[in-house]
Structure 1
Amino acid sequence: MSTTPLLDIEGLCVSFATRGGSFKAVDGVNLKVAPNEVLAIVGESGSGKSVAMLAIMGLLPWTATITAKRMMFDGQDLLTMPAKQRRTLIGKDVAMVFQEPMSSLNPCFTVGWQINEALAAHTTLDRAQRKARVVELLELVGIPDPVRRVSAFPHQLSGGMSQRVMIAMALACKPRLLIADEPTTALDVTIQAQIMDLLQTLRRDTGMALVLITHDLGVVAECADRVVVQYAGRAVEQQAAATLFSQPHHPYTASLLSALPERAVGGRLTAIDGLVPGQFDRPAGCLFAPRCHLATARCHNEVPVAAGPALGEALCHTPIINAAPLMEMPA
């Protein structure tokens, strides 16, 4: 695996204008993704996972203000890149599979037309070549009878089929980085496994990097090389998947792992007390302090700085050291 990052983000912040001022949905996130790497981003809903990736894609609404110290893709500066040049990059070299495929696909057009649109925008293929490529893509993602499915409308497809169409659309121009935002949400367990196997196979065959946004820690354990844990807009821990599952260093990461169903004690699930802070109740110090059983007075009053790589860059005043393993990696 190359040591030069394909995607290199430092200090990413995203704020949204609101009636009460502004709300910082992403706060100083650092992110590196190497070629052919699988990076998983996990955290509760509202932690800024999707917003950070949409900022990279340039798909946030006008109410969003995006700042960063560095936002590079393959040596190209996304912050200073002209809009016209960025449009040639996004959708071709960087693609995204969005949440909820049933609502992401346009119900007024066939799936073949929608995949063809991406090809027309980013390739020099003629009409006949694009038509053949659409059929090839549907076959690639495991859709049966792809020639007939080209003419299908989204409402004629199941959730799993719609997700495969979204993946085919994202892969149409052979991206070097694929962002998959909750690709298994609302799918049954069997289809979830098929979708993840498909993404892993495509990654191995094409060499692309994969950023996987998910709540499913089982999927992370199976697929990811590295994991970023986000909480309330901040990246609170980053380390290799194997060591994160066996030796978490941030109390929030340890709490997430303890809440897994397989760790239920006496049939009772472990829960994290409290709620993720919102716009008007953000603590002065560590954002996780009101919910953390290890919090001290310092945690409540001082913003923590990231620990070193040996401690998973944990954003914590009292990172966990030499904890008992919480979860074994799958064989």
Structure 2
Amino acid sequence: MSLLRIRNLSVDFATASGQFRAVDGVDVTLEKGELLAIVGESGSGKSVSMLAVMGLLPWTATITADEMSFEGRDLTKITPRERRSIIGKDMAMIFQEPMSSLNPCFTVGFQIKEALRIHMGMDRATRNNRAVELFDQVGIPDAASRLNTFPHQMSGGMNQRVMIAMAIACNPKLLIADEPTTALDVTIQAQILDLLIRLRDEQDMGLVLITHDMGVVAETAERVSVQYAGQKVEEQPVKDLFRHPYHPYTSALLSALPERATSKILPTIPGVVPGQFDRPQGCLFSPRCQFADEKCAQTPPVPCGPEQGRALCHHVDAIEAGEMA
């Protein structure tokens, strides 16, 4: 039984001008102890798909899925009370923007100890000791006194570490990390990633890492899911993806890495991710793809088989054979 299993997840937002599909038919499978990276540009639906799993999207969102289960438990049918007993304990998330996720009216210590009180039933002294231990784990200096500070009294990087400490406080079975090292310098990034991987190993915790950093993906992930405009366009083991990407979008992402550049000017992907009013009728990547033809513009592609990374492209065979340039 998979730890997390999602089939055909779609998320639509109600806007003044109609419905906007932010996530379109995404599948995700995560086993216990596995590290899955989800990559893609801003606007590709990475965070929205995971917020849907957590039940944290606003009322304007309409979520549909053929299956969305956690440890075999159907997340679409549980009651709000049952969801509250899972979220924050068995399933936790590190949010991308700590300053908008932490409550400015309460100290960071109060906020981390509140989860320990509700989910773990710890008494006051045990909660305090555990909070100090967590702050030490994520590299917050002078941890005992820092518990009494408010979010606005700490830097963005420190608040990010507070968010990470809150997420791992109850030893979750599934941790979703949304750009967990964005506001941190390179040295601290490495420490935090090492901490997350160590926790994954010690607790057999499933870890979903949402990131733009392909270097982080190469160093940490076991499997990579590439999303574009709300769709999953490719998924492969990390070594296979870097060695042989099948979808043109994945190839373009990897070509833009500085270490892969063959000239002084880095390659770029022209255009932008389509929004509500400029979504192509066929392949969503077709306006930006060097291999696109009339079929791409008119007909939505279907995923290839697992041996070709389930790439969502009409021309995988031709591109692989070198017939298109």
Whether these two folds match at TM > 0.5 is yes
> Deviations 1:193-232 (Å, cap 9, x if unpaired)?
2221221122222221110000000000000000000000
Change (3 A) 1:36 1:129: same
**Structure 2 counterpart of 1:240:** 237
1:276 correspondence with 2:280:
no
Instruction: Tell me which amino acid in the other structure corresponds to 1:279.
Output: Q
1:109 correspondence with 2:106:
yes
**Structure 2 counterpart of 1:226:** 223
Task: Give the 3-state SS of the residue equivalent to 2:197 in structure 1.
Answer: helix
Query: Does the CA-based 8 Å contact 2:160-2:183 persist in structure 1?
Result: no
Change (3 A) 1:159 1:194: farther
> Deviations 1:142-178 (Å, cap 9, x if unpaired)?
3232222211222333333222211110111110000
Query: Does the CA-based 8 Å contact 2:179-2:209 persist in structure 1?
Result: yes
> Deviations 1:20-41 (Å, cap 9, x if unpaired)?
1100000000000110111000
Query: Does the CA-based 8 Å contact 2:10-2:22 persist in structure 1?
Result: yes
**Structure 2 counterpart of 1:40:** 37
> Deviations 1:214-272 (Å, cap 9, x if unpaired)?
00000000000000000000000011001001000000000000111222333101000
1:173 correspondence with 2:170:
yes
1:147 correspondence with 2:152:
no
Query: Does the CA-based 8 Å contact 1:154-1:162 persist in structure 2?
Result: yes
The TM-score, its normalising length taken from structure 2, stands at: 0.95
1:24 correspondence with 2:21:
yes
**Structure 1 counterpart of 2:97:** 100
Instruction: Tell me which amino acid in the other structure corresponds to 2:59.
Output: W
The TM-score, its normalising length taken from structure 1, stands at: 0.93
Q: Distance in 2 between matches of 1:310 and 1:242?
A: 14
Deviation, structure 1 residue 322:
6.4
Q: Distance in 2 between matches of 1:45 and 1:130?
A: 37
Instruction: Tell me which amino acid in the other structure corresponds to 1:82.
Output: T
> Structure 1, unaligned stretches of length 5 or more?
324-331
**Structure 1 counterpart of 2:3:** 6
**Structure 2 counterpart of 1:287:** 284
1:207 correspondence with 2:204:
yes
Instruction: Tell me which amino acid in the other structure corresponds to 1:214.
Output: T
> Deviations 1:280-311 (Å, cap 9, x if unpaired)?
11111100011111112211111110000000
Query: Does the CA-based 8 Å contact 1:13-1:29 persist in structure 2?
Result: yes
Query: Does the CA-based 8 Å contact 1:306-1:314 persist in structure 2?
Result: yes
Which stretch of structure 1 is more off in the superposition, 234-243 or 186-195?
Answer: 186-195
Q: Distance in 2 between matches of 1:273 and 1:96?
A: 33
1:85 to 59, 76, 82: 82
Task: Give the 3-state SS of the residue equivalent to 1:135 in structure 2.
Answer: helix
- Percent of counterpart pairs with the same letter? 64
Instruction: Tell me which amino acid in the other structure corresponds to 1:215.
Output: H
> Structure 2, unaligned stretches of length 5 or more?
none
Which stretch of structure 1 is more off in the superposition, 15-24 or 196-205?
Answer: 196-205
What is the CA RMSD across the aligned residues, in angstroms? 1.4
Change (3 A) 1:105 1:322: farther
Change (3 A) 1:322 1:241: farther
**Structure 2 counterpart of 1:312:** 309
1:75 correspondence with 2:101:
no
Task: Give the 3-state SS of the residue equivalent to 1:45 in structure 2.
Answer: coil
Q: Distance in 2 between matches of 1:195 and 1:163?
A: 10
**Structure 2 counterpart of 1:189:** 186
Q: Distance in 2 between matches of 1:163 and 1:114?
A: 14
1:198 to 195, 198, 207: 195
Deviation, structure 1 residue 93:
0.3
